[in-house]
Amino acid sequence: MKTKNIVYFGNKAVIACDEKCEKAWGINSRKTIQLDENNEDDYAYLSDDELDIAPVDPGTYEGGYAKPENDEEKLNKWCCRECERCCMGGPDELIIFPDFSKRIYNIQKS
């Protein structure tokens, strides 16, 4: 796990990465499966095992930054704003990563 202290909208924060960039598509590019054809918001992000290796450049950029290609570039603006594997919390908060070993559902059913 890699972490970085940042200032986000004027507040101190920490971003953390599971460093599995080969599986990082970006939140807007990660493949999904539609669950309800009548509700466009009812979908699930596919698990890591259901996906191939993510592209080195998924074609999304944040503030002029692209997906990192090496360790020195990690935890840039793309990671913070676009990477589905990067998490943010307060300086003293426990950061819990999403579990992409299984599908992640956009709508939680009760």
Tens-place pLDDT, residues 63-93: 999 999 999 999 999 999 999 999 999 999 9
Q: What is the mean pLDDT of the chain?
A: 95
Q: Determine contact, residues 41/99, Cβ cutoff 8 Å.
A: no
* Percent of the chain's residues with pLDDT above 70: 99
What predicted TM-score, i.e. pTM, was given to this entire model?
A: 0.88
DSSP class of residue 102 equals: S
Of 110 and 60, the structure prediction assigns the larger pLDDT to: 60
Burial 49-61 (b: 16+ CB within 10 A, else e): eeeeebeeebebe
| pLDDT (mean) for 26-32 | 95
Per-residue pLDDT for 110 more than 90?
no
Catalogue the E-assigned strands of the chain.
2-8, 11-17, 32-34, 43-45, 87-89, 104-105
